Structure 1
Amino acid sequence: MGWENTPAQPKAGPTSFNVRDTDGPVEMVTGPPPYYSTEPQDYPRRNMRSQPALPWWNPKSWRKRTWAIVVIAFIIIIIVAVVTPVEVAKANRYPNYTKLNYALADEYSGTTFFDKFNYFVGYDPAQGFVHYVPEAQATQLNLTYASEDSAIIRVDTSVGPQSEPDASTGRFSVRIESQAQYDNGLFIFDVKHTPFGCGTWPALWLVDPANWPDHGEIDVMEAANKATDGNQMTLHTTDGCSMDVKRIMSDSGLSNDCHNATDNNAGCGVRGDAATYGSAYNDGQGGIIAMEWRNEDFPNTNCDIGSHFKNQSIIANIDLCGQYAGALYASSGCPSNCTDYVANNPEAFTDAFWEFGKFEVYKAT
């Protein structure tokens, strides 16, 4: 069937057009043409449902930045999980104290106790208020003497404020140093009496006098003034030695850094109870002090013992005031000031003496 359109009308109104079919022309009249909007229409989508937003923890909702953060966090967790057990194990591991067999290598005893020692002479290197006297003067003043059973080292008690000369520049005392020097070993000290009293700073220790602190220092017994808080056992070294690891001990740990340039050279040490030094120790008739020095000791997990401790002499001395006792003097409940008290009160030092039985040094076989 064919279609023939009539020309467009000039005015709006009813529209007529002719349609011709096989039976002849037919005229059809219609209303105005339909209106078509030119604005876009929002038609609902067929067969589509609105989707809810995905939760934050669903990886499908993550952007690249979120993925990067998650990956980095995961790597950090893995590192912590691996490193933490290693560090904990390191902190808790303990030196290998395999049993060693020892044989006696040296002994200091009897009437010849002092024969293997040199006497340090002069002012104290630690700024103590003393005059360390030579052997002849120590013998004359009765500051050192020995019997079959004991060796005595004491502070002078004869010089008073009216003496000529007096003790205004320091009191006479003694410091002895073993002629032999040691590397490693088992040291046994029979200590029957420890010095104590206001102004005193006694010590039984090991050091290389010519190479301090490079060759280290081992304080076996040390206290200050009234010494009511027990014995202090301490190490002093150059940099690179610390005790901030597990320690098996019955006493109280002190500073962990052994480096002499930290904490005013406090060193790293352990403090015993009141019965380990002073009047309580002496009332118990003294005791045997053992110190084993080996490369696995004290402990060496953060300290190379072999490189920090060498060529040690045994030293026993009684210092007065100085860097340690002087600094603690006021807080120790002592009268006046340290140097005035030491200079003017000779009778205050009747208990300021060491009494030793014998010293024994054993070497591993």
Structure 2
Amino acid sequence: MGWEDTAALPKAGPATTFEVRDANGPVNFVTHPSPYHHLKLSGDDINMASDGADGPWWNPRYWRKRTWAIVVGVLVAIIIVAVVTPIEVAKRNRYPDYYRIDYALADEYSGTTFFDQFNYFVGYDPAQGFVHYVPREQATQLNLTYASADAAILRVDTSVGPGSEPDASTGRFSVRLESKRQYDTGLFVFDVRHTPFGCGTWPALWLADPVHWPDNGEIDVLEAVNRADTGNQMTLHTTAGCTVDARRIMTGESLATDCHNATDNNAGCGVRGPVDSYGTAFNAGGGGVAAVEWRAEGIRIWQFPRDSIPADIAARRPDPSAWGSASADFPNTNCDVGAYFRNQSIIVNIDLCGQYAGSVYSQSGCPSNCTDFVANNPQAFTDAFWELGAFEVYQRA
């Protein structure tokens, strides 16, 4: 449909002729003091007559049923857009109220009794790692776990080589700890001085219910694989229905938003921190503190380098409302935190190869293949150890 000049018409006068042409109906002439243009309508445009009667196009009394249907459809679409759009915008902009909570110290894992508060996992590795997790007695004998007044160490074995009896052809000795106490919310402050790394390694500090996984969820606080040169990864793993595809306030890079463990080979909804949040750079600065606030409004994780730890943490009066944007933010907008996360133990381990490190080993720049490298190169695991200060768990005061 469009306007065009009508050169054949007479010049303007007191009563000018305005011509309307309808491609599907008769030609109508109306007198109107207007410039000399005529309106061309295609067959799909508004018809000017109804039931054979002629009349002006702008008068609904002369519209055909098809015209009415088109107009009504357009109005309905406009109404739907006008109603739905603000609702969707509001939904996308929803954000939980992380109001200030007063916390009080409930549990502390530190000093020479650090390991007394953990169970040593023994048996088949659920993540299919190339590893033998040993009990406490063997870990002590192999010097894989030991504690002083201010630090606890967890290591991968570096003594068993190709000529050893037995050798490491079926997996290398390592440790996995699970806290004896379980939690259902809280503020967790982890002092970490050295993170493990090296080809074939898959270390993690995390929260989970190891007996009912993934039904009760998993919160990965510190995790990396192989050379660990891409930064720390913070991730949630859940059953179906928990997503974080909503407004988030964080400094980390979102890797995925569906937390379902069956999505993308259990990748979870991860967030990556900067390069210096794990591995060589992190360790060179003396490590730092990782803090997890787990509450009904959501789960947030912060990382603070050693020289930037908030004074309220050092004073044992932590106040997350004063810490600024989290490194990773998992709001409850599309994930009922209380329904997906419960009965969590604190877990620290160093796995080898397995579902994660093994699957990306060939892209890591590491030599040979994962299991052969792990079995035959004990000296490669001298940096594969955790050095931990105190773990502090705070609950609502």
User: What TM-score comes out, normalization by structure 1 length?
Assistant: 0.85
- SS of structure 1 residue aligned to 2:257: coil
Match of 1:179 in 2: 180
How far off its partner does 1:107 sit?
A: 0.4
Tell me whether 1:227 sits opposite 2:228 in the alignment: yes
Q: Which shows bigger deviation, 212-221 or 72-81?
A: 72-81
Q: 2:349 aligns with which of 294, 298, 317?
A: 317
Which residue identity lines up with residue 123 of structure 1 in the other structure? Y
How far off its partner does 1:91 sit?
A: 1.1
Q: 1:328 aligns with which of 360, 366, 372?
A: 360
The 1-side partners of 2:180 and 2:120 are apart by 10
Which residue identity lines up with residue 29 of structure 2 in the other structure? Q
Which residue identity lines up with residue 352 of structure 2 in the other structure? L
- SS of structure 1 residue aligned to 2:331: coil
Which residue identity lines up with residue 163 of structure 2 in the other structure? Q
The 1-side partners of 2:362 and 2:28 are apart by 84
Tell me whether 1:51 sits opposite 2:52 in the alignment: no
The 2-side partners of 1:222 and 1:168 are apart by 25
Give the unaligned 5+ runs of structure 2. Answer: 1-26, 31-37, 47-56, 299-329
The 1-side partners of 2:66 and 2:216 are apart by 56
The 2-side partners of 1:50 and 1:78 are apart by 34
Which residue identity lines up with residue 229 of structure 2 in the other structure? T
Q: Percent same amino acid among aligned pairs?
A: 73
How far off its partner does 1:140 sit?
A: 0.2
- SS of structure 2 residue aligned to 1:51: strand
The 1-side partners of 2:270 and 2:168 are apart by 33
How far off its partner does 1:59 sit?
A: 4.0
The 2-side partners of 1:69 and 1:191 are apart by 67
How far off its partner does 1:295 sit?
A: 0.8
The 1-side partners of 2:58 and 2:150 are apart by 84
Number of residue pairs matched?
317
Match of 1:69 in 2: 70
The 2-side partners of 1:93 and 1:62 are apart by 45
- SS of structure 2 residue aligned to 1:265: coil
- SS of structure 2 residue aligned to 1:202: strand
The 2-side partners of 1:66 and 1:161 are apart by 86
Which residue identity lines up with residue 320 of structure 1 in the other structure? L
How far off its partner does 1:50 sit?
A: 6.0
- Please show how residues 11-50 of structure 1 align to structure 2 within 5 Å: none
Which residue identity lines up with residue 239 of structure 1 in the other structure? A
The 2-side partners of 1:142 and 1:335 are apart by 27
How far off its partner does 1:69 sit?
A: 2.0
Which residue identity lines up with residue 179 of structure 1 in the other structure? K
Match of 1:107 in 2: 108
- Please show how residues 153-172 of structure 1 align to structure 2 within 5 Å: 153-172=154-173
Which residue identity lines up with residue 63 of structure 1 in the other structure? R
How far off its partner does 1:143 sit?
A: 0.1
Match of 1:345 in 2: 377
Match of 2:141 in 1: 140
Following superposition, which runs of at least 4 residues in structure 1 exceed 3 angstroms of deviation? 52-62
Match of 1:38 in 2: none
Match of 1:208 in 2: 209
Which residue identity lines up with residue 316 of structure 1 in the other structure? V
Match of 1:41 in 2: none
User: What TM-score comes out, normalization by structure 2 length?
Assistant: 0.78
Give the unaligned 5+ runs of structure 1. Answer: 1-48
